[in-house]
């Protein structure tokens, strides 16, 4: 019965949007959200946001930082980063055209108009081209490239669309090199990282990446070859066995975590 109720709520939520405000430490900035992305956005207060994602923003983003949010979804991390950075350029990369539209609406809200906030409606990948992209039957947060396994939370496929893809290295011609890159691409992270070799080599940003278990060994090897080490975001210590969300830090930089209530 509970499963039937959830499925009905998910179906009724499709296409519906409203404005939520981030917690006070992010300036209560507004974000256009939709339960079509995640039902979580229906919950009141701070429970309506991913606490680990917000804690990561607090730990990683500092005034003036340029931030790329890859797989931005509705832009919670991107707008949190905008509030923390202030003057830096925030780039939200999102393959789902409908979600990219919400990102543009969020960027156009009066309270966000002063930020340097750009939306790139494309899929980050190893090369430029086109790919089939599956829209999840459940929340759009689980959308994924057809070529990868995706998440167990998709609940099936609502529709398959064709999207444009690009390597993140291509963004260096248009935006400042990033200080922080957050990646959440539902199993396509290895392809994304292969398409940002110049970014890793020259910009040396902090990388906060959701890593699918099937790609873990190859992702860790690629990042080690690029001169990065996995560190615990809460302690700053080298993490020999990182979890699902991995902080990669350039070997030459080290990392000192910011102590916050959320961390």
Q: Would you kindly state where each structural domain of the chain is located, as residue ranges?
A: 2-250
Specify the pLDDT at position 45: 85
Cα distance between residue 223 and residue 216, in whole Å: 11
pLDDT at residue 147 in the model: 80
pLDDT for 233: 95
Is the Cβ–Cβ distance between 48 and 177 less than 8 Å?
Answer: no
pLDDT value of position 10: 63
Helix and strand numbers (H, E) in the chain are 7, 13
Question: What is the pTM for the complete model shown?
Answer: 0.92
pLDDT of 186: 86
Return per-residue pLDDT of the chain as tens, 263 residues: 445 455 656 666 677 899 999 999 999 999 999 998 888 898 988 889 999 999 999 999 999 999 999 999 999 999 999 999 999 999 999 999 999 999 999 999 999 999 999 999 999 999 999 999 999 887 888 888 988 876 555 567 889 999 999 999 999 999 999 999 999 998 899 999 999 999 999 999 999 999 988 889 999 999 999 999 999 999 999 998 898 899 999 999 988 877 655 54
Strand partners, 90: 67, 117
Residue 95: its pLDDT value, please? 96
Instruction: Tell me which CATH code domain 2-250 carries.
Output: 3.40.50.150
* Separation between Cα atoms, residue 180 and residue 79, nearest integer Å: 14
* Maximal CA-CA distance, the chain: 54
Backbone angles phi, psi at 139, to 5 degrees: -75, 140
């Amino acid at each position: 019965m509970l499963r039937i109720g959830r499925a009905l709520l998910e179906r009724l939520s499709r296409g519906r949007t409203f404005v939520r405000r981030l917690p006070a430490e992010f300036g209560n900035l507004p974000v256009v959200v939709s339960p079509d992305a995640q039902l979580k956005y229906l919950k009141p207060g701070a429970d309506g946001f991913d606490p680990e994602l917000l804690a990561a923003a607090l730990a990683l983003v500092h005034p003036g930082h340029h931030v790329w949010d890859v797989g931005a979804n509705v832009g919670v991390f991107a707008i949190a980063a905008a509030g923390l950075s202030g003057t830096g350029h925030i780039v939200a990369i999102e393959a789902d055209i409908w979600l990219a539209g919400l990102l543009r609406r969020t960027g156009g809200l009066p309270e966000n108009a002063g930020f340097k906030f750009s939306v790139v409606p494309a899929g980050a990948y190893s090369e430029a081209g086109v790919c089939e992209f599956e829209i999840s039957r459940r929340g759009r947060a689980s959308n994924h490239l057809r070529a990868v396994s995706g998440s167990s939370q998709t609940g099936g496929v609502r529709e398959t669309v064709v999207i444009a893809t690009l390597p993140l290295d291509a963004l260096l011609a248009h935006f400042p090199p990033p200080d922080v890159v957050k990646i959440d691409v539902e199993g396509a992270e290895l392809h994304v990282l292969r398409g940002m070799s110049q970014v890793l080599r020259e910009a040396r940003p902090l990388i906060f990446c959701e890593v699918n278990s099937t790609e873990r060994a190859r992702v860790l090897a690629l990042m080690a070859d690029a001169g990065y080490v996995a560190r615990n975001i809460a302690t700053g210590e080298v993490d020999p066995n990182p979890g699902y969300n991995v902080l990669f830090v350039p070997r030459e930089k080290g990392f000192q975590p910011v102590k916050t209530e959320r961390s």
